Amino acid sequence: MIDLHTPTLLLVILVVSFTLSATLASVARRFKRDGMLYWAWGFVLHTLTYVLFVLRGHVSDLVSVVLANTLLAVSFALISEGVQQFLQVRWSRWLVWAPVPLVAVLFFALLGHAQTRIILSGLIIAWQCALIAWQLGSERDKVVGRGAYFVIGSFLAISAAFLLRTVGALYGEVGIGSITTSNPLQSATFLFVSVALMMVCQGVVLMTNERADERNRLLAMQDELTGLSNRRFIMEALSLQLAQARRNGKSVSVLMIDVDYFKSINDTYGHLSGDRVLRNLATSLRSRLRAQDMAGRWGGEEFLVVLPDTDAAGATILAGNLRAEVEDARWSAQDGRSIPLTLSIGVHTCDSATEELDTVISAADQALYRAKQAGRNRVEQS
């Protein structure tokens, strides 16, 4: 194995840590709620740790051994806190912060036992890095894109490197005179760490950017109040379904839904209660639809539902069931008062290969108009 100059590798880690902390700090304000501030401070302390390591032999061991290793444990704990904030979860604080007082007490007590300190340091760092990787891996469904794989792989690599160093210390392969001693195992450990830190930097920035892109994508296709598709996206979905229906010779049905007397609800119970009704109605719609069906907010108190592979009879039955369910349900205002709620629904089924998007929407809208003219709280077909 190549025997690299360990002080130089420590200096490389110091520079990489400083660059990473500066990079994260520069974007921490924008991504503060995504854990970036925790990560930035974590890598600031990581940088300071390696400054103290490089000063080993030039300053007191209380500083270069006890304080340095304690700061290293704090840095990984802060990174772990950042991961939890990014994932919006909360695990036991003991899992995250227990290593900090443990390192401070044990390293002070073991100042004269370098080999034991190397073993303990390797085990604790390996635990902390493995915990960070596990936190991200166990909540993978909350992370968008591939950036998390860089971070998980990097912390697993750091964990493995320090476990290898621990094994080396157990078998007397690590020079225990100083952390700056050059030997193959020291070289391999710190080379792994320097490369892994660069991968962490790429992974964290990529991970947060991917989440920001996903948020922007959702904003472009979702209605902010209800969480349903917005008007533009539901129109695109309907256009796609009509094109597929023409190719396959199948039916597509559309429901145009209007909340009866919604202005009166706003005037009587307040706009917050009106918003609450729309959100709860959206939840009710989602629960009634099949996986292939789509619902969107058409505008104000109107909703559009697209039902692929559904004939007129099936669409009318669904609309009737939905109308009855809403009428029978208990809808409450912000102050707890009961709100009587009914729906008027227009149903149109596209069986013709020549019907265009505007024609389909117009037919459903006209059916809705007839339902309202006929007294509301009813379903009308086109």
- Provide DSSP, 203-254: HHHHHHHHHHHHHHHHHHHB-TTT-SB-HHHHHHHHHHHHHHHHHHT--EEE
- In what helix (H) or strand (E) does residue 134 lie, and over which residues does it extend? helix 114-138
Output the CA angle 153-134-67, nearest 5 degrees.
85
Parallel, antiparallel, or unpaired for β 338-339 and 302-308?
A: unpaired
Distance between CA atoms of residues 48 and 261, nearest Å: 65
Q: For residues 110 and 244, state if they share a domain.
A: no
Q: For residues 210 and 238, state if they share a domain.
A: no
The pLDDT, as a whole number, for residue 179 is 63
Q: For residues 247 and 320, state if they share a domain.
A: yes
The pLDDT, as a whole number, for residue 215 is 75
Could you tell me which residues come within 8 angstroms of residue 182 by beta carbon, excluding any fewer than 6 positions away?
A: 3, 4, 5, 6, 7, 175
Q: For residues 292 and 326, state if they share a domain.
A: yes
Distance between CA atoms of residues 314 and 323, nearest Å: 14
The pLDDT, as a whole number, for residue 156 is 93
The pLDDT, as a whole number, for residue 213 is 80
**In the numeric block, which tokens belong to residue 264?**
């009166």
DSSP bridge pairs for 344: 258
Low-confidence ranges of the chain (pLDDT < 70): 1-5, 27-33, 172-183, 352-353
The pLDDT, as a whole number, for residue 30 is 65
Helices (H) and strands (E) in the chain, counts: 14, 7
The pLDDT, as a whole number, for residue 4 is 63
Q: For residues 136 and 252, state if they share a domain.
A: no
- Spell out a b/e string for 108-138, using b for 16 or more CB atoms within 10 Å of the CB, else e: eebeeebeebbbbbbebbbbbbbbbbbbbee
Taking the chain, what is the end-to-end CA distance rounded to the nearest angstrom?
Answer: 80
Q: For residues 241 and 347, state if they share a domain.
A: yes
Distance between CA atoms of residues 74 and 259, nearest Å: 55
**Amino acid letter for position 53:** F
The reply to whether 225 falls in a domain is no
Cα–Cα distance list, 3 to 8, 173, 218, 264, 375 (Å)? 12, 13, 51, 80, 88
Residue written as token pair 């009166």:
264
Parallel, antiparallel, or unpaired for β 331-332 and 379-381?
A: unpaired
Q: For residues 244 and 144, state if they share a domain.
A: no
Output the CA angle 139-144-150, nearest 5 degrees.
80
- The sheet with strand 252-259 has its strands ordered as 294-299, 302-308, 252-259, 343-350, 379-381
Residue 20: give the domain boundaries: 6-215
The pLDDT, as a whole number, for residue 227 is 87
Count CB neighbours of 167 within 10 A: 14
**In the numeric block, which tokens belong to residue 95?**
């899992």
Q: For residues 307 and 338, state if they share a domain.
A: yes
Q: For residues 279 and 207, state if they share a domain.
A: no
Count of structural domains, the chain: 2
Q: For residues 242 and 210, state if they share a domain.
A: no
The pLDDT, as a whole number, for residue 3 is 58
Cα–Cα distance list, 121 to 100, 114, 124, 333 (Å)? 11, 10, 5, 58
The pLDDT, as a whole number, for residue 247 is 83
Q: For residues 151 and 239, state if they share a domain.
A: no
Parallel, antiparallel, or unpaired for β 379-381 and 343-350?
A: parallel
pTM of the model: 0.64
Q: For residues 198 and 66, state if they share a domain.
A: yes
